[in-house]
Chain A
Amino acid sequence: MRAWLLLLGGMLVWTIHFFVLYGLGSLFGTTPTARIGTLLVTLACLAANLAILVTCMRIARTADRESVLGWPARLGAPVAVLSIVSVAWQAFPALFT
């Protein structure tokens, strides 16, 4: 399970972020509440992604090439980076328009 979480963690965070934003937009429309909510959720998700990235990089650096967690961590790191970009991009409509 840990290997799958490392591998997919970034995308799971993106999923949570997206659906919370969808919920905020649906419930509160285009209001300051929705915008502030978006900011808070985005910061939390960016922090979660950073934590996943750091964990993946640490494991990838120390793990044996053939270890169980090695490759999932090496893949999980760029997934987390992509998630960071996507989460930030996803928040732009609420924060800058």
Chain B
Amino acid sequence: MNASRTSGAVPPAASVSETGFDPTLFDRFPTSGERPEGELGELEHVWRAPRGWGLLTVVNNNYVGIFYVGAAFLFFLLAGILALVMRVQLALPLNGVLPQETYNQFFTMHGTVMMFLFAVPAVEALGVLLLPQMLAARDLPFPRLSAYAFWAYLVGGLAFFASIFVGLAPNGGWFMYPPLTSTAYSPGINADFWLLGIGFIEISAIAGAIEIIVGVLKTRAPGMSLDKMPIFAWAMLVFAGMIIIAFPAVIFGTLALELERALNWPFFDPTRGGDPLLWQHLFWFFGHPEVYIIFLPAAGLVSMMVAALSRTPLVGYRLVVLALVATAFISFGVWAHHMFAVGMPRLSVGFFSAASMAVSVPAGIQVFAWIATLSVGRPRYQTPTLFLVGGLVTFVLGGLTGVMVAMVPFDWQVHDSYFIVAHLHYVLIGGMVFPMFAGFYYWTPMMSRRPLSERLGKWVFWLMFAGMQVTFLPMHLTGFMGMPRRVYTYLPGRDWEITNMISTVGAFMLAAGILIFLVDLIRNFRFAAEGNAGNVYGGGTLEWLPTGLYSTRSIPLVTSREPLWDRPGLSREVEEGRYFLPGSATGNRETIITSPLRAEPQYLQIMPGPSVWPLLSAIFTAGFFLLLTVQAYLVGVVSGLVAIWCMIRWLWETDRPVRPPTADIGAGIEVPTYVTGPSTHGWWAMVVLQIVIGMIFLMAAFSYLYLYGVHTSFWTAPPAPSWLALLLPLYGAGMGLAWLARVLLARRRSTLWSPATALLFGAASLLTGFVLDCLSWRWSGLDPEASGQGATVYGLLAIQGFVTGVAVLIALYVAARNSRGLVTRPRNNSFDLAVLFLIYTGAQGVLGAALVRLFPGAV
């Protein structure tokens, strides 16, 4: 039942309502009168966290978020220790601390761990921790997915890092360029650790990104329209959107390189029609946006903190949002500036150079907004402020050298030198690490009984800031003097000794700062979901409302960007239960799902509680990837099957409609407790997932076209286009039957079995299409080992095979639910999502089959 209809009020003009919700209903808040006795107790009971070993099954964002941040920080420390040992090795010429092979593993692991196991997970972790509170949601919409993402990351990350203790760590650089990483030059399993380990960790990152996109768009507090969203939520939305576009490139790249290494499919071997530059395109299409993927959430943190610490609203909110969005887009047009030295066409080089300069414009907008906010406000120069200003200075310096290397002739001079090492550390430490430390100091009181120490914090800042400059400023000179990156030692008498020694001293200063930070943490950090230190810095956004494991007692109506500043009594009213959902309306964990633009209440989402299945799924998924890496194939496959079983058990408990069908979410506003279709959070998540798979497919298609462009001579004729007359109807029938199943489910007269049967036949049709697709290529004589064409065609088929396998599994899963009476009629979310996936699978099959037969065959 729609809230506006429940009220009986006349809906206002369509222009002020997104969903037909009557905004005058908001006038009922804050409510008055006594709240029922026991309401708060029930809320606490419903959201309580397990204790002891049961904590392993916890899904509350407070716990998962803090575990996540802690794990990311652990990897930061581990990678930092590797850096210190490298600096000791480089302090003197011909030093013997690290042998060459170990040094190669150290710099590879330092870069890889910092980028994949610290930077991205750390900001994702902050999203899980902070977003529900900032949006005043009870939790993010898929708490078990958050738990899975965390455990997958932790288990996979630790196993990956452990490879360094047995000398099996990857050693080809964090970018893993072939042919250095091909079996000819890297015959051990070191490179496989990187390829399978990172591929697995990317799954965790994508799971987190889906959670964040749906969370930001669908679980905001009522009234929190796009223009009232905390800037961190904007940043995380943009960040997650970038992940789903960028990460598929590296997922396909790692898959292709692993297939080349394991099965001899020559994606990157130019002697058989492959091309090593294809890897560089795939890697940097992910790799450069990755820099902004790391920077933008940190910029979001800065925008939040700079306003609170300056005690004034952020200057140019709209322009900062513009800058976030523009940076995200333009950053996808700069990947080839990492390849200026490889010999691309002059015009292409010019385009990438121009885009690389253009991306500094939106970054500059944000910097000026922060300076203006500091200027018009009354900033308190406490520890977080110091880190903000220090980060700003450092990031601007790194940004300026970035514009320098965007100019091609300059880039050619400093390419692969220590100048680049200096540049990237200025950008990443100034743009991400310092803001993150500012965030640690600023938000610790939200989750700890005591804030961190101001006195120690100032020591931490000054040591880290000075250490950073002392380490990396001389590296510009070292680079100008010609020292290349990634060398384990150098000869005396080349004038590199002094600057290298200074850099090493600086690195230890930086480490000393971090050591004091650890002391501060040990002395003062006491995790507390309730009874925390509170709003020490006077922030104006919702995360500073009093909270428990249920987030806020009642979910406030948002009427401005800084609600706590604009309505001083808000905290008290929220605690008294004067707003939405002051208790548990259905006796379950629940949150309000709102519309994406104007945050109008749509329905009540019933949320799952603690479960061991996400943990077990993560362990066995990690087992699958790691056992494959060490070539224990049979055990690996068994682990993968167990992981699938665990996921099915996890999902089996979900998607259960509750009684009553509608619930009062406060002030007499009733919303449904079960909704299907495009407005649901599950639908949005499935669409985002399909974008991810679509991007992987797109990257494979790009690889196919790219290799045709550079090595046409290796190309052979595809199977006759007449095959399409068989394949397209099969894929089309799969889609059509899936759609028919959806129609049958809604028909009263159809039997309970007919929809599930139609779905199974649809999946069977897709499977038949895929098998015939494969056979047509086998019979044409094209071998995947023969050429780049063979590798990419079978690569596309491998993706289609994977998607088809998932579609079959989903159809069987829904049929099994149907057999247990768990598929509700006339509409059901699991069924809808299965239909959506099958239709996508068919569409991808059509596109793939047509591409490889018609191009270049029919051109």
Residues of A within 8 A of B (CB): 3, 7-8, 11-12, 14-15, 18-19, 21-22, 24-27, 29-30, 34-35, 38, 63-64, 66-69, 71-72, 74-75, 78-79, 82, 85-86, 89-90, 92-94, 97
**A90 near B322: Cβ-Cβ < 8 Å:** no
**A64 near B325: Cβ-Cβ < 8 Å:** no
Stretch of B85-93, B347-355, B477-485 at the chain-chain interface: B347-355
Q: A14-B329, A93-B351 are in contact. Are A78 and B16 (CB under 8 A)?
A: no
Give CA–CA (A17, B654) in the complex, Å: 44
B227 within 8 A of A: yes
Chain B residues with Cβ below 8 Å from A11 are: 325-326, 329-330
B362 within 8 A of A: yes
> With contacts A26-B348, A30-B347, A86-B326 known, what are 19 further pairs, Cβ within 8 A?
A12-B329, A14-B333, A15-B332, A18-B332, A19-B333, A24-B347, A25-B351, A27-B709, A35-B347, A63-B15, A68-B15, A68-B597, A68-B598, A79-B322, A82-B361, A85-B358, A89-B357, A90-B358, A92-B354
* Max chain A C-beta neighbours (<10 A), residue from B14, B15, B362: B15
Interface size class of B (residues with CB under 8 A): 35 or more
> Which B residues from 221 to 245 make CB contacts under 8 A with A?
225-227
**B354 near A93: Cβ-Cβ < 8 Å:** yes
**A89 near B329: Cβ-Cβ < 8 Å:** no
Q: What's the least CB distance linking B306 to chain A, in Å?
A: 21
B518 within 8 A of A: no
Q: What's the least CB distance linking B585 to chain A, in Å?
A: 28
Q: What's the least CB distance linking B710 to chain A, in Å?
A: 10
Q: A11-B329, A30-B345, A86-B358 are in contact. Are A75 and B321 (CB under 8 A)?
A: yes
B347 contact from A69, A75, A85, A94, Cβ within 8 A: A94
Chain B residues with Cβ below 8 Å from A71 are: 225-227
Chain A residues with Cβ below 8 Å from B332 are: 15, 18
Q: What's the least CB distance linking B691 to chain A, in Å?
A: 14
Q: What's the least CB distance linking A1 to chain B, in Å?
A: 10
Give CA–CA (A86, B332) in the complex, Å: 13
The contact sample of 25 A-B pairs, CB cut-off 8 A, is A7-B325, A18-B355, A19-B333, A26-B348, A30-B346, A35-B347, A38-B347, A66-B23, A67-B15, A68-B15, A68-B17, A68-B18, A68-B597, A71-B226, A82-B361, A85-B361, A86-B326, A86-B330, A89-B357, A90-B333, A90-B354, A92-B350, A93-B350, A93-B351, A94-B350
**A75 near B17: Cβ-Cβ < 8 Å:** no
Shortest Cβ distance from A96 into B: residue: B350
B318 within 8 A of A: yes
Give CA–CA (A29, B345) in the complex, Å: 6
**A22 near B15: Cβ-Cβ < 8 Å:** no
Chain B residues with Cβ below 8 Å from A12 are: 329
B345 contact from A3, A26, A78, Cβ within 8 A: A26
**A25 near B347: Cβ-Cβ < 8 Å:** yes
Give CA–CA (A26, B707) in the complex, Å: 12
B319 within 8 A of A: yes
Q: A14-B330, A67-B15 are in contact. Are A90 and B347 (CB under 8 A)?
A: no
Give CA–CA (A63, B351) in the complex, Å: 38
Give CA–CA (A93, B350) in the complex, Å: 5
Shortest Cβ distance from B225 into A: residue: A71
**B350 near A97: Cβ-Cβ < 8 Å:** yes
Q: What's the least CB distance linking B598 to chain A, in Å?
A: 6
**B351 near A21: Cβ-Cβ < 8 Å:** yes
Give CA–CA (A29, B101) in the complex, Å: 41
Q: A30-B345, A93-B350 are in contact. Are A79 and B227 (CB under 8 A)?
A: no
**B330 near A8: Cβ-Cβ < 8 Å:** no
Q: What's the least CB distance linking A48 to chain B, in Å?
A: 15
Chain A residues with Cβ below 8 Å from B345 are: 25-26, 29-30
Give CA–CA (A19, B335) in the complex, Å: 12
Give CA–CA (A78, B598) in the complex, Å: 21
Shortest Cβ distance from A14 into B: residue: B329
B325 contact from A8, A24, A67, A85, Cβ within 8 A: A8
Chain B residues with Cβ below 8 Å from A78 are: 318-319, 322
B351 contact from A14, A15, A67, A90, Cβ within 8 A: A90
Q: A75-B322, A89-B358 are in contact. Are A18 and B350 (CB under 8 A)?
A: no
Chain A residues with Cβ below 8 Å from B14 are: 68
Shortest Cβ distance from A97 into B: residue: B350
Q: What's the least CB distance linking B575 to chain A, in Å?
A: 28
B709 contact from A26, A75, A89, Cβ within 8 A: A26
Q: What's the least CB distance linking A86 to chain B, in Å?
A: 5
Produce 1/0 per residue, B303-324, CB < 8 A to A.
Answer: 0000000000000001101100
Give CA–CA (A16, B15) in the complex, Å: 30
Chain B residues with Cβ below 8 Å from A63 are: 15
Produce 1/0 per residue, B347-390, CB < 8 A to A.
Answer: 11011011101100110000000000000000000000000000
Shortest Cβ distance from A25 into B: residue: B348
Produce 1/0 per residue, B15-36, CB < 8 A to A.
Answer: 1111000010000000000000
Shortest Cβ distance from A17 into B: residue: B333
Shortest Cβ distance from B408 into A: residue: A93
Give CA–CA (A21, B226) in the complex, Å: 33
B355 contact from A64, A68, A90, Cβ within 8 A: A90
Shortest Cβ distance from B336 into A: residue: A22
Shortest Cβ distance from A3 into B: residue: B597
Chain B residues with Cβ below 8 Å from A97 are: 350
* Max chain A C-beta neighbours (<10 A), residue from B23, B227, B350: B350
Give CA–CA (A12, B329) in the complex, Å: 8
Give CA–CA (A61, B346) in the complex, Å: 44
**B322 near A64: Cβ-Cβ < 8 Å:** no
